[in-house]
Amino acid sequence: MNYDVILIRYGELALKGRNRDLFEETLARNVKNVLRSFYKVKVRRNYGRMYVELHGEDAYEVMERLKRVFGIASFSPTIQVDPDIETIKEKALSLIQQMNPQPRTFRVETRRADKRYPIPSMEVNRMVGTHILRALPQIKVDVHQPEAVVNLEIRTEGTYVSCETIPGPGGLPVGVSGKVQLLLSGGIDSPVAGWMMMKRGVTLEAIHFHSYPFTSERSLQKVRDLAQKLAMWGGTINLHVVPFTEIQTAIRENCPEDYLITIMRRFMMRISERIAEQTKAKALATGESLGQVASQTLESMDTINKVISIPLLRPLVALDKTEITEISRKIDTYELSILPYEDCCTIFTPKNPVTRPKPYVAERFEQSLDVDGLVERAVQGTVIEEITTKRREEATDLF
Ligand code: ATP
Ligand code: MG
């Protein structure tokens, strides 16, 4: 079927006034951005709907991109038809006939936004329904739970027919909620945390702590690849690569083993807060989940939080590992995350980390370190890389 238009519906109906304008403008910008390599498409907005006019571009490729645009509740591949009832009947029938598998039940739903149209909606439903029933003897009408809904929209600017509704990712358009600085490791959790924040409309910047030569170039490349997977959901991501070797060496030489992780995390927080000041991010985010490992107890979170005043978000805090893994498979980061390259934390993992660290104990151990100097040098040595989405030919399909 040659579709003409993809009709986009968006949710978050509670949005009002200025918020709603910001939502719609940002969504339109993001839709245009993911479709920028489809030169012929045009994106239009009209009364709470968005239309992607295809002008010959491939509907399925376009829809594959729309599945990654947060803020979209659902979309439908649509054909534009002449508004006379005979044409509408024929086109609706041919759309149903091309569905695979063939639906056993259907319903017609007409929205007559153009009130000058001479036939009332109920009557259009009945006429189109009857036409389909006559042509397809095996199909039945089911108004409650049909397998197919024939959607007719009669508007002043055109008449649209569709019979497939594909769910979008929901959430809010990336960009409406400000910026968050994600601590991105090579593990399973932090990419999922970043994705969840993006889903709520956040623009991400990522920070990675790299301990070359204890950790290899390969492990850094893995983080770039993960950042790129995230970028597919919201455009470019700046990745701040922080040199962490000097700090880890200093901690290991001067602090007791059971506090290594706690103190290391406190350094990560201090540096991330400094970087957030530069990027104007309003919060930090990590992939921590309560109780998952020794350094993720409430006491530990408290001891780590104590060194910063910027809010620290933990979107995974109440999720199980299986739930997190499920999301990571869905967003296609799982296979990358399980690649066995060393991480700065795996290299320094002590046998018995403290599970209930105390802020004052951590502070006492840190007195033997030049905290300010170490933080300053790490911030100064940070390199920013711009991670962009793959080009159209390289992009793989999701779901
Ligand atoms: P992940 O699967 O995200 O690595 P994890 O379960 O391995 O998480 P930890 O190693 O305790 O947990 O790390 C907790 C959080 O600290 C991570 O989710 C991440 O946000 C951050 N973090 C850990 N190591 C790094 C790193 N090298 N660079 C940036 N952030 C990191
Ligand atoms: Mg980890």
Tell whether ligand 1 has an atom less than 6 A from the beta carbon of residue 262. Answer: no
Ligand 2 center to 345 CA (angstroms) = 7
**Quick check: is 282 in a domain?**
yes
**Quick check: is 397 in a domain?**
no
DSSP type of residue 154: E
Nearest atom within ligand 1 for CA of residue 210: 27
Tell whether ligand 1 has an atom less than 6 A from the beta carbon of residue 189. Answer: yes
Ligand 2 center to 382 CA (angstroms) = 20
Nearest atom within ligand 1 for CA of residue 183: 30
**Quick check: is 208 in a domain?**
yes
Q: What ligand is nearest to the CA atom of residue 271?
A: 1
When pLDDT is averaged across residues 183-201 and rounded to a whole number, the result is 96
Residue where the block lists tokens 């927080």 = 269
**Quick check: is 48 in a domain?**
yes
Asked whether residue 49 falls in the same domain as residue 83, the answer is yes
Asked whether residue 228 falls in the same domain as residue 143, the answer is no
Tell whether ligand 1 has an atom less than 6 A from the beta carbon of residue 172. Answer: no
Asked whether residue 194 falls in the same domain as residue 286, the answer is yes
Asked whether residue 77 falls in the same domain as residue 156, the answer is yes
The per-residue pLDDT for range 219-265, each reduced to its tens digit, is 999 999 999 999 999 889 999 999 999 999 999 999 999 999 999 99
> In which region does residue 17 sit, left (phi positive, over 0), alpha (psi from -120 to 50) or beta (all else)?
left
Tell whether ligand 1 has an atom less than 6 A from the beta carbon of residue 88. Answer: no
**Quick check: is 393 in a domain?**
no
Asked whether residue 266 falls in the same domain as residue 369, the answer is yes
CA distance 337 to 186: 6
Nearest atom within ligand 1 for CA of residue 265: 16
Cα separation values, 55 from 2, 52, 59, 158, 167, Å: 10, 9, 10, 15, 23
User: pLDDT-based confidence at 391, cuts 50/70/90?
Assistant: low
Asked whether residue 226 falls in the same domain as residue 250, the answer is yes
**Quick check: is 367 in a domain?**
yes
Cα separation values, 310 from 185, 191, 228, 285, 397, Å: 20, 21, 26, 10, 37
CA distance 271 to 361: 20
Residue having the nearest C-alpha atom to atom 6 of ligand 1? 189
Residue having the nearest C-alpha atom to atom 18 of ligand 1? 287
Asked whether residue 274 falls in the same domain as residue 163, the answer is no
The per-residue pLDDT for range 114-140, each reduced to its tens digit, is 889 999 999 999 999 999 999 999 999
Asked whether residue 125 falls in the same domain as residue 225, the answer is no
Asked whether residue 79 falls in the same domain as residue 144, the answer is yes
The per-residue pLDDT for range 76-117, each reduced to its tens digit, is 999 999 999 999 999 999 999 988 889 999 999 999 988 899
Domain range for 68 is 5-167
Report the amino acid identity of residue 165: T
Ligand 2 center to 253 CA (angstroms) = 22
Is the per-residue pLDDT at 57 higher than 60? yes
CATH for 259 = 3.40.50.620
Which are the contacts of 322, defined by CB distance < 8 A and separation ≥ 6?
Answer: none
Number of structural domains in the chain: 2
